């Protein structure tokens, strides 16, 4: 909620009650003194209309004034009558490269001696940098109805979900047995623990060049990258789960005549599941965050591809929409995994 309020405040959204100061809009003016080529001085006034459409209102120009219109947040060059050169603005001398603060903005002089007016920008962000919530919602409705880049929104999201689920599943299928082996066998731990600990801090993005060289730019490479993103997290979680089983429980099972297989099945696996579920949630988050980078290379569909394509054309509203969708879907997946954990591992936290 705080993030939404700040977002609305800095974009002038109608959905929030308070806003930071926005760019000036309205009419303003300043006086100037100019010098002709013959050295004759003359005084005048520049009237400026600042608005979202940059239109000049009727009656703004009179015989002794220069009237210009400028769009909010933009600069405007001002041509004085008879190509005269300004020597002062509001009684303050000005030279090429200089600037004079005026009411509702700043007047500067270019290197060639032309005046330029910049209206007060305020603290609100321009839509190209940060669109308002209404603009993002409007773009979401448009993409829902018409799609984007020749594919529907559901096709983009579905493609990303399939890649994430494939990479995560492979990472879990390999990482969990590897973690169990490292937790149960000193030989496995001695051989594979250094490899896992070496690869764990390497960000998946750093592996993109190698993945492209080894597996190509199509779906296999994307799934392999997500597989590597999940593998080390799942291996470490499984190893930690096995190592965290209290030895007293194992001794108690042995004293009751349990075999090694029974101890693995009824003692080690149940007691390690909470750590594995925690690791699975972390691994899923890493995969879901990595999918944007995975879709950077030759992807035809996907939420990440949608963000990357929109960023090339500075369609910030689509970029924001994609980021919010990725966050919401990732949050939803995490909530589903929490529910699955509470149902499948009801003994978590009970010793």
What is the Cα–Cα distance from 132 to 127, expressed in whole angstroms? 7
pLDDT for position 251: 66
Report, as an integer, the average pLDDT of 63-70: 68
- Is 109 in a helix, a strand, or coil? strand
Report, as an integer, the average pLDDT of 288-304: 81
Query: Residues 6 or more apart from 15 whose CB is under 8 A from it?
Result: 8, 133, 134
pLDDT for position 231: 93
Higher-confidence position of 173 and 42: 173
Q: Which residue has the tokens 């769009």?
A: 71
pLDDT at residue 304 above 80? yes
What is the Cα–Cα distance from 220 to 232, expressed in whole angstroms? 19
Report, as an integer, the average pLDDT of 309-316: 88
Whole-angstrom CA distances from 276 to 173, 238, 243, 293 are 12, 5, 12, 26
Structure tokens that stand for 261 in this block: 């297989």
pLDDT at residue 350 above 70? no
Pairing of strands 41-51, 26-35: antiparallel
pLDDT in tens, 139-190: 999 999 998 888 899 999 999 999 999 999 999 999 999 998 888 888 888 8
What is the Cα–Cα distance from 98 to 111, expressed in whole angstroms? 9
Mind giving me the DSSP string for 167-190? HHHHHHHHHHHHHHHHHH-HHHHH
Sign (positive/negative) of CA torsion 70, 75, 77, 80? positive
**Which range, 14-18, 52-56, 174-178, is most confident?**
174-178
Model confidence band, residue 65 (pLDDT cutoffs 50, 70, 90): low
pLDDT in tens, 177-230: 999 888 888 888 888 888 888 888 888 888 888 888 888 878 888 899 999 999
pLDDT at residue 60 above 50? no
Query: Residues 6 or more apart from 150 whose CB is under 8 A from it?
Result: none
Which domains does the chain carry?
26-119 (no CATH), 134-344 (1.10.3720.10)
- Is 76 in a helix, a strand, or coil? strand
pLDDT for position 349: 64
CA contacts within 13 A on the Cβ side of 139: 21
pLDDT in tens, 320-343: 999 899 889 989 999 998 888 888
Structure tokens that stand for 268 in this block: 């080690």
pLDDT in tens, 240-277: 888 877 777 776 777 777 777 777 777 777 888 888 89
Q: How far is CA 200 from the centre of its chain?
A: 24
pLDDT at residue 351 above 90? no
| Mean pLDDT of the residues in the chain | 83
Mind giving me the DSSP string for 28-45? EEEEEEEE-TT--EEEEE
Model confidence band, residue 126 (pLDDT cutoffs 50, 70, 90): confident
pLDDT in tens, 91-119: 888 888 888 898 888 899 888 778 888 88
pLDDT at residue 53 above 60? no
User: Considering the chain, what percentage of its residues have pLDDT values greater than 70?
Assistant: 94
pLDDT for position 309: 86
Burial of 52 (0-12, 13-18, 19+ CB in 10 A): exposed
What is the Cα–Cα distance from 304 to 212, expressed in whole angstroms? 17
CA contacts within 13 A on the Cβ side of 74: 18
What is the Cα–Cα distance from 282 to 334, expressed in whole angstroms? 9
pLDDT at residue 59 above 60? no
pLDDT for position 170: 95
pLDDT for position 301: 87
Give yes or no for a contact between 117 and 66, defined as CB atoms under 8 angstroms apart. Answer: no
19-23, 97-101, 306-310, range with the lowest pLDDT: 19-23
Structure tokens that stand for 117 in this block: 């007016």
């Amino acid at each position: 909620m705080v993030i939404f309020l700040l977002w609305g405040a800095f974009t002038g959204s109608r959905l929030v009650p308070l806003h930071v100061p926005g760019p000036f809009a309205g009419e303003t003016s300043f006086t100037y003194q100019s010098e002709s080529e013959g050295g004759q001085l003359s005084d005048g006034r520049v009237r400026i209309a600042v608005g979202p459409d940059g239109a000049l209102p009727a009656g703004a120009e009179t015989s002794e004034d220069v009237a210009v219109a400028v769009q909010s947040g933009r600069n405007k060059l001002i041509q004085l009558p008879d190509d005269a050169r300004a020597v002062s603005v509001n009684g303050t001398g000005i030279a090429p490269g200089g600037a004079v603060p005026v009411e509702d903005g700043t007047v500067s002089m270019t290197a060639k001696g032309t005046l330029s007016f910049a209206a007060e920008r305020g603290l609100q962000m321009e839509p190209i940098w940060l669109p308002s919530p209404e603009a993002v919602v409007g773009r979401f409705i448009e993409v829902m109805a018409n799609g984007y880049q020749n594919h529907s929104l559901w096709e983009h999201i579905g493609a990303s979900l399939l890649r994430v689920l494939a990479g995560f599943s492979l990472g879990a299928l390999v990482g969990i047995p590897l973690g169990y082996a490292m937790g149960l066998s000193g030989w496995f731990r001695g051989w594979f623990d250094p490899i896992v600990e070496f690869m764990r801090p390497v960000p998946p993005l750093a592996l993109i060049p190698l993945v492209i060289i080894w597996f190509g730019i199509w779906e296999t490479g994307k799934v392999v990258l997500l597989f590597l993103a999940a593998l080390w997290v799942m291996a470490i979680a499984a190893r930690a789960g096995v190592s965290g089983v209290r030895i007293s429980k194992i001794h108690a099972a042995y004293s009751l005549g349990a075999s090694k297989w029974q101890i693995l099945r009824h003692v080690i696996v149940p007691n390690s599941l909470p750590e594995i579920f925690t690791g699975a949630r972390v691994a899923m988050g890493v995969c879901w965050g990595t999918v944007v980078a995975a879709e950077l290379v030759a992807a035809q569909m996907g939420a990440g591809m949608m963000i990357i394509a929109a960023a090339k054309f500075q369609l910030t509203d689509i970029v924001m929409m994609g980021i919010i969708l990725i966050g919401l879907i990732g949050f939803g997946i995490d909530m589903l995994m929490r529910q699955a954990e509470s149902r499948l591992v009801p003994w978590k936290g009970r010793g």
